[in-house]
Amino acid sequence: MAQAYMTETGSGGSGPERPGSRFRRLLDGWRGDPAIWRRGLVTAGAAVLIALVMLFHAQIPNNVGNLGSLTETFLPWLGLLVPVLLVIAVVRKSATALIALLLPAIIWLNSFGGLISDKSGTGGDLTVATHNVNADNTDPTGTARDVASSGADVIALEELTADAVPTYEKALSGLYKYHSVEGTVGLWSKYPLSGTRPVDIKLGWTRAMRTTVNTPKGDVAVYVAHLPSVRVKLDAGFTANQRDNSADALGEAIADERLDKVVLLGDLNGTMNDRALNAVTSQMRSTQGAAGNGFGFTWPASFPMARIDQIMVKGVEPVSSWTLPETSSDHLPIAARVDLSS
Protein backbone atom coordinates (compact mmCIF):
# COMPACT_ATOMS: atom_id res chain seq x y z
CA MET A 1 0.00 0.00 0.00
CA ALA A 2 2.82 2.43 0.87
CA GLN A 3 4.51 1.78 -2.46
CA ALA A 4 1.29 2.49 -4.38
CA TYR A 5 0.78 5.69 -2.44
CA MET A 6 4.26 6.93 -3.27
CA THR A 7 3.75 6.24 -6.96
CA GLU A 8 0.51 8.18 -7.11
CA THR A 9 1.72 11.28 -5.25
CA GLY A 10 5.05 11.62 -7.02
CA SER A 11 8.64 11.16 -5.96
CA GLY A 12 8.80 10.37 -2.28
CA GLY A 13 5.13 11.30 -1.77
CA SER A 14 6.15 14.97 -1.54
CA GLY A 15 2.69 16.29 -2.44
CA PRO A 16 1.33 18.22 -5.46
CA GLU A 17 3.61 18.97 -8.36
CA ARG A 18 4.95 22.52 -8.38
CA PRO A 19 4.17 24.91 -11.29
CA GLY A 20 7.84 25.03 -12.26
CA SER A 21 7.88 21.27 -12.66
CA ARG A 22 4.83 21.39 -14.89
CA PHE A 23 6.51 24.03 -17.08
CA ARG A 24 9.64 21.90 -17.41
CA ARG A 25 7.53 18.89 -18.35
CA LEU A 26 5.79 21.02 -20.99
CA LEU A 27 9.14 22.03 -22.49
CA ASP A 28 10.35 18.46 -22.39
CA GLY A 29 7.29 17.40 -24.38
CA TRP A 30 8.16 19.96 -27.07
CA ARG A 31 11.85 19.10 -27.39
CA GLY A 32 12.69 17.00 -30.38
CA ASP A 33 9.26 17.57 -31.95
CA PRO A 34 9.84 19.09 -35.42
CA ALA A 35 6.08 19.56 -35.87
CA ILE A 36 6.07 22.50 -33.43
CA TRP A 37 7.10 24.68 -36.39
CA ARG A 38 4.46 23.28 -38.75
CA ARG A 39 1.50 23.27 -36.40
CA GLY A 40 -0.59 26.37 -35.66
CA LEU A 41 -0.01 28.17 -38.95
CA VAL A 42 -3.59 29.46 -38.95
CA THR A 43 -3.15 30.78 -35.41
CA ALA A 44 0.11 32.44 -36.44
CA GLY A 45 -1.62 33.99 -39.46
CA ALA A 46 -4.38 35.37 -37.23
CA ALA A 47 -1.75 36.91 -34.94
CA VAL A 48 -0.02 38.60 -37.87
CA LEU A 49 -3.36 39.89 -39.19
CA ILE A 50 -4.22 41.45 -35.81
CA ALA A 51 -0.79 43.06 -35.71
CA LEU A 52 -1.25 44.51 -39.18
CA VAL A 53 -4.68 45.94 -38.31
CA MET A 54 -3.31 47.64 -35.19
CA LEU A 55 -0.24 48.92 -37.01
CA PHE A 56 -1.92 50.10 -40.22
CA HIS A 57 -5.46 50.92 -39.04
CA ALA A 58 -5.13 54.40 -40.54
CA GLN A 59 -4.85 52.79 -43.98
CA ILE A 60 -8.17 50.96 -43.72
CA PRO A 61 -10.45 52.89 -46.10
CA ASN A 62 -13.46 54.79 -44.85
CA ASN A 63 -15.23 54.95 -48.19
CA VAL A 64 -16.89 51.57 -47.59
CA GLY A 65 -19.16 51.81 -44.56
CA ASN A 66 -16.60 53.94 -42.67
CA LEU A 67 -14.83 50.68 -41.86
CA GLY A 68 -11.67 52.50 -40.80
CA SER A 69 -13.43 54.59 -38.16
CA LEU A 70 -15.35 51.57 -36.89
CA THR A 71 -12.09 49.65 -36.45
CA GLU A 72 -10.44 52.59 -34.69
CA THR A 73 -13.37 53.02 -32.30
CA PHE A 74 -12.82 49.58 -30.78
CA LEU A 75 -9.09 49.23 -31.54
CA PRO A 76 -7.97 48.60 -27.92
CA TRP A 77 -10.23 45.55 -27.72
CA LEU A 78 -8.15 43.74 -30.32
CA GLY A 79 -5.70 43.10 -27.50
CA LEU A 80 -8.14 40.60 -25.99
CA LEU A 81 -7.52 38.28 -28.94
CA VAL A 82 -3.85 37.90 -27.97
CA PRO A 83 -4.40 35.75 -24.82
CA VAL A 84 -7.04 33.73 -26.67
CA LEU A 85 -4.58 32.92 -29.44
CA LEU A 86 -1.89 32.27 -26.82
CA VAL A 87 -3.99 29.52 -25.26
CA ILE A 88 -4.59 28.00 -28.69
CA ALA A 89 -0.88 28.14 -29.50
CA VAL A 90 0.04 26.37 -26.27
CA VAL A 91 -2.62 23.70 -26.71
CA ARG A 92 -1.51 23.16 -30.30
CA LYS A 93 2.15 23.11 -29.21
CA SER A 94 3.02 25.60 -31.94
CA ALA A 95 6.29 27.49 -31.61
CA THR A 96 5.49 29.37 -34.82
CA ALA A 97 2.26 30.76 -33.36
CA LEU A 98 3.95 31.73 -30.10
CA ILE A 99 6.61 33.72 -31.92
CA ALA A 100 4.01 35.36 -34.19
CA LEU A 101 2.02 36.45 -31.12
CA LEU A 102 4.89 38.66 -30.06
CA LEU A 103 3.96 41.05 -32.89
CA PRO A 104 0.42 42.04 -31.76
CA ALA A 105 1.48 41.95 -28.11
CA ILE A 106 4.32 44.44 -28.65
CA ILE A 107 2.24 46.70 -30.91
CA TRP A 108 -0.67 46.77 -28.44
CA LEU A 109 1.62 47.60 -25.52
CA ASN A 110 3.29 50.33 -27.55
CA SER A 111 -0.08 51.84 -28.53
CA PHE A 112 -2.11 51.41 -25.34
CA GLY A 113 0.27 50.31 -22.61
CA GLY A 114 0.68 53.90 -21.45
CA LEU A 115 -3.04 54.08 -20.64
CA ILE A 116 -2.78 51.26 -18.13
CA SER A 117 -0.54 53.14 -15.71
CA ASP A 118 -1.82 55.84 -13.37
CA LYS A 119 -0.59 59.21 -14.65
CA SER A 120 -2.71 61.38 -12.38
CA GLY A 121 -1.00 64.06 -10.31
CA THR A 122 -1.86 66.60 -7.66
CA GLY A 123 -2.53 70.31 -7.76
CA GLY A 124 -4.25 72.21 -10.52
CA ASP A 125 -6.41 75.31 -10.67
CA LEU A 126 -9.65 74.26 -12.33
CA THR A 127 -11.81 71.13 -12.14
CA VAL A 128 -14.16 70.50 -15.05
CA ALA A 129 -16.73 67.79 -15.70
CA THR A 130 -18.95 66.75 -18.58
CA HIS A 131 -21.91 64.42 -18.90
CA ASN A 132 -24.35 63.35 -21.58
CA VAL A 133 -27.35 63.21 -19.29
CA ASN A 134 -29.59 61.34 -21.80
CA ALA A 135 -32.80 62.94 -23.02
CA ASP A 136 -34.79 60.11 -21.44
CA ASN A 137 -33.19 60.51 -18.00
CA THR A 138 -35.76 59.68 -15.32
CA ASP A 139 -33.84 61.34 -12.48
CA PRO A 140 -32.35 64.65 -13.66
CA THR A 141 -32.13 66.00 -10.12
CA GLY A 142 -30.13 63.01 -8.91
CA THR A 143 -27.94 63.12 -12.02
CA ALA A 144 -27.13 66.79 -11.48
CA ARG A 145 -26.34 66.14 -7.83
CA ASP A 146 -24.06 63.22 -8.68
CA VAL A 147 -22.04 65.22 -11.20
CA ALA A 148 -21.77 68.21 -8.86
CA SER A 149 -20.40 65.93 -6.13
CA SER A 150 -17.21 65.65 -8.21
CA GLY A 151 -16.30 69.11 -6.92
CA ALA A 152 -16.13 70.51 -10.43
CA ASP A 153 -15.86 74.26 -10.87
CA VAL A 154 -17.37 73.98 -14.35
CA ILE A 155 -19.93 71.40 -15.52
CA ALA A 156 -21.03 70.78 -19.09
CA LEU A 157 -24.23 68.86 -19.80
CA GLU A 158 -25.30 67.47 -23.16
CA GLU A 159 -28.58 66.11 -24.54
CA LEU A 160 -30.68 68.53 -22.54
CA THR A 161 -34.38 68.70 -23.31
CA ALA A 162 -36.43 71.86 -22.95
CA ASP A 163 -38.59 70.20 -20.29
CA ALA A 164 -35.59 69.07 -18.22
CA VAL A 165 -33.56 72.30 -18.30
CA PRO A 166 -35.49 73.97 -15.40
CA THR A 167 -34.86 70.87 -13.26
CA TYR A 168 -31.13 70.97 -13.89
CA GLU A 169 -31.08 74.72 -13.28
CA LYS A 170 -32.78 74.29 -9.93
CA ALA A 171 -30.60 71.37 -8.87
CA LEU A 172 -27.35 73.18 -9.68
CA SER A 173 -28.25 76.75 -8.69
CA GLY A 174 -26.95 76.39 -5.15
CA LEU A 175 -23.36 75.63 -6.21
CA TYR A 176 -23.15 77.25 -9.63
CA LYS A 177 -24.03 80.92 -9.78
CA TYR A 178 -23.49 81.26 -13.52
CA HIS A 179 -24.86 79.16 -16.32
CA SER A 180 -25.90 79.25 -19.95
CA VAL A 181 -27.86 76.87 -22.15
CA GLU A 182 -27.65 76.87 -25.94
CA GLY A 183 -29.94 74.42 -27.66
CA THR A 184 -29.34 70.97 -26.16
CA VAL A 185 -26.04 71.77 -24.39
CA GLY A 186 -25.34 73.84 -21.32
CA LEU A 187 -22.58 75.01 -19.01
CA TRP A 188 -22.74 75.66 -15.25
CA SER A 189 -19.87 77.55 -13.61
CA LYS A 190 -18.75 78.89 -10.24
CA TYR A 191 -17.02 81.69 -12.13
CA PRO A 192 -18.55 84.40 -14.35
CA LEU A 193 -19.22 83.68 -18.01
CA SER A 194 -18.90 86.05 -20.93
CA GLY A 195 -18.91 85.95 -24.70
CA THR A 196 -21.33 83.02 -24.76
CA ARG A 197 -22.61 81.99 -28.17
CA PRO A 198 -23.73 78.92 -30.09
CA VAL A 199 -21.24 77.17 -32.36
CA ASP A 200 -22.43 76.10 -35.80
CA ILE A 201 -21.49 72.45 -36.34
CA LYS A 202 -23.54 72.09 -39.52
CA LEU A 203 -26.62 70.37 -38.10
CA GLY A 204 -29.35 72.96 -38.52
CA TRP A 205 -29.94 73.14 -34.76
CA THR A 206 -27.71 73.99 -31.80
CA ARG A 207 -25.65 71.22 -30.20
CA ALA A 208 -22.48 73.16 -29.45
CA MET A 209 -21.57 76.37 -27.65
CA ARG A 210 -18.59 78.51 -26.69
CA THR A 211 -18.12 80.73 -23.65
CA THR A 212 -15.35 82.43 -21.69
CA VAL A 213 -14.96 81.35 -18.06
CA ASN A 214 -13.41 84.21 -16.06
CA THR A 215 -11.34 82.23 -13.53
CA PRO A 216 -9.03 83.74 -10.88
CA LYS A 217 -6.10 82.51 -13.03
CA GLY A 218 -7.35 84.20 -16.19
CA ASP A 219 -9.87 83.68 -18.97
CA VAL A 220 -10.45 80.22 -20.40
CA ALA A 221 -12.41 79.53 -23.58
CA VAL A 222 -14.70 76.56 -22.92
CA TYR A 223 -16.45 74.70 -25.71
CA VAL A 224 -19.31 72.28 -25.11
CA ALA A 225 -20.27 69.96 -27.95
CA HIS A 226 -22.48 67.00 -28.67
CA LEU A 227 -21.58 65.61 -32.06
CA PRO A 228 -24.16 63.53 -33.97
CA SER A 229 -24.62 59.91 -33.01
CA VAL A 230 -23.22 57.08 -35.08
CA ARG A 231 -24.80 53.72 -35.85
CA VAL A 232 -23.59 50.35 -37.06
CA LYS A 233 -25.98 49.02 -39.72
CA LEU A 234 -25.68 45.84 -41.74
CA ASP A 235 -26.71 47.57 -44.96
CA ALA A 236 -24.73 50.79 -44.48
CA GLY A 237 -21.83 49.98 -42.17
CA PHE A 238 -20.69 52.67 -39.72
CA THR A 239 -23.01 55.61 -40.46
CA ALA A 240 -20.82 58.47 -39.26
CA ASN A 241 -20.78 60.99 -42.11
CA GLN A 242 -22.85 63.60 -40.28
CA ARG A 243 -20.67 63.20 -37.18
CA ASP A 244 -17.55 63.61 -39.31
CA ASN A 245 -18.80 66.86 -40.89
CA SER A 246 -19.69 68.28 -37.49
CA ALA A 247 -16.24 67.35 -36.14
CA ASP A 248 -14.63 69.29 -38.97
CA ALA A 249 -16.78 72.34 -38.21
CA LEU A 250 -15.97 72.12 -34.50
CA GLY A 251 -12.27 71.87 -35.30
CA GLU A 252 -12.47 75.01 -37.42
CA ALA A 253 -14.19 76.93 -34.63
CA ILE A 254 -11.52 75.90 -32.10
CA ALA A 255 -8.73 76.77 -34.55
CA ASP A 256 -10.19 80.28 -34.85
CA GLU A 257 -10.31 80.76 -31.06
CA ARG A 258 -8.40 83.86 -29.95
CA LEU A 259 -7.80 82.86 -26.33
CA ASP A 260 -4.71 80.79 -25.63
CA LYS A 261 -6.32 78.57 -22.98
CA VAL A 262 -9.04 76.33 -24.39
CA VAL A 263 -11.05 73.44 -22.89
CA LEU A 264 -13.43 71.23 -24.86
CA LEU A 265 -16.11 69.29 -22.97
CA GLY A 266 -18.64 66.97 -24.52
CA ASP A 267 -19.88 63.84 -26.15
CA LEU A 268 -17.94 63.59 -29.40
CA ASN A 269 -19.36 60.18 -30.33
CA GLY A 270 -15.87 59.08 -31.23
CA THR A 271 -12.63 57.96 -29.64
CA MET A 272 -9.20 59.58 -29.78
CA ASN A 273 -8.13 56.88 -32.26
CA ASP A 274 -10.87 57.75 -34.75
CA ARG A 275 -9.33 59.62 -37.69
CA ALA A 276 -12.66 61.37 -38.31
CA LEU A 277 -11.99 63.57 -35.26
CA ASN A 278 -8.57 64.69 -36.53
CA ALA A 279 -9.77 68.27 -36.98
CA VAL A 280 -10.15 68.40 -33.19
CA THR A 281 -7.63 65.88 -31.88
CA SER A 282 -4.77 67.26 -33.98
CA GLN A 283 -4.84 70.53 -32.03
CA MET A 284 -5.92 69.43 -28.53
CA ARG A 285 -4.79 66.95 -25.87
CA SER A 286 -6.96 64.39 -24.14
CA THR A 287 -6.82 64.72 -20.34
CA GLN A 288 -7.34 60.97 -20.05
CA GLY A 289 -4.36 60.18 -22.21
CA ALA A 290 -2.15 62.74 -20.47
CA ALA A 291 -3.22 62.41 -16.84
CA GLY A 292 -5.71 59.57 -16.51
CA ASN A 293 -5.73 56.11 -14.97
CA GLY A 294 -6.81 53.39 -17.37
CA PHE A 295 -8.86 53.68 -20.55
CA GLY A 296 -11.68 55.68 -18.97
CA PHE A 297 -14.41 54.11 -21.14
CA THR A 298 -17.72 55.98 -20.83
CA TRP A 299 -20.26 54.20 -23.03
CA PRO A 300 -22.50 52.31 -22.55
CA ALA A 301 -22.67 53.00 -18.83
CA SER A 302 -23.76 49.45 -17.97
CA PHE A 303 -20.69 47.94 -19.67
CA PRO A 304 -18.37 50.68 -20.98
CA MET A 305 -16.62 49.70 -24.21
CA ALA A 306 -15.43 53.02 -25.65
CA ARG A 307 -14.52 56.50 -24.47
CA ILE A 308 -16.69 58.69 -26.64
CA ASP A 309 -17.09 61.44 -24.03
CA GLN A 310 -14.04 63.67 -23.94
CA ILE A 311 -12.29 66.41 -22.02
CA MET A 312 -9.63 67.99 -24.23
CA VAL A 313 -7.37 70.96 -23.63
CA LYS A 314 -5.07 73.39 -25.41
CA GLY A 315 -2.77 75.82 -23.67
CA VAL A 316 -3.35 74.30 -20.22
CA GLU A 317 -1.75 71.32 -18.48
CA PRO A 318 -3.83 68.26 -17.50
CA VAL A 319 -3.17 67.18 -13.90
CA SER A 320 -5.65 64.36 -13.39
CA SER A 321 -8.59 62.78 -15.18
CA TRP A 322 -11.16 60.28 -13.97
CA THR A 323 -14.53 58.66 -14.62
CA LEU A 324 -17.41 59.38 -12.25
CA PRO A 325 -19.91 56.81 -10.93
CA GLU A 326 -22.91 55.79 -13.03
CA THR A 327 -26.00 58.01 -13.03
CA SER A 328 -29.42 57.51 -14.61
CA SER A 329 -27.86 58.18 -18.03
CA ASP A 330 -26.54 55.67 -20.56
CA HIS A 331 -23.17 57.49 -20.44
CA LEU A 332 -20.72 57.80 -17.58
CA PRO A 333 -19.75 61.33 -16.53
CA ILE A 334 -16.07 62.28 -16.55
CA ALA A 335 -14.01 64.93 -14.80
CA ALA A 336 -10.51 66.40 -14.99
CA ARG A 337 -8.35 68.87 -13.13
CA VAL A 338 -6.07 71.19 -15.07
CA ASP A 339 -3.29 73.64 -14.30
CA LEU A 340 -3.92 77.09 -15.79
CA SER A 341 -0.59 78.57 -14.76
CA SER A 342 1.49 76.65 -17.32
Could you tell me if 161 and 184 are in contact, meaning their C-beta atoms sit under 8 angstroms apart?
A: yes
pTM over 0.75: yes
Q: What is the largest CA-CA distance in the chain?
A: 91
CATH among 2.60.40.10, 3.30.870.10, 3.40.50.2020, 3.60.10.10 for 126-339: 3.60.10.10
Stated as kind and residue range, the H or E segment containing 311 is strand 309-314
State pLDDT tens for residues 134-188: 999 999 999 999 999 999 999 999 999 999 999 999 999 999 999 999 999 999 9
Residues 142, 193: Cα–Cα separation, whole Å: 25
Which pLDDT score, from 0 to 100, does residue 203 have? 92
Sorted by where each begins, the domain ranges of the chain are 32-113, 126-339
Could you tell me if 236 and 65 are in contact, meaning their C-beta atoms sit under 8 angstroms apart?
A: yes
Indicate if the pLDDT at residue 336 is higher than 60: yes
- How many other C-beta atoms are found inside a 10 Å radius of the C-beta of residue 39? 17
Which pLDDT score, from 0 to 100, does residue 256 have? 98
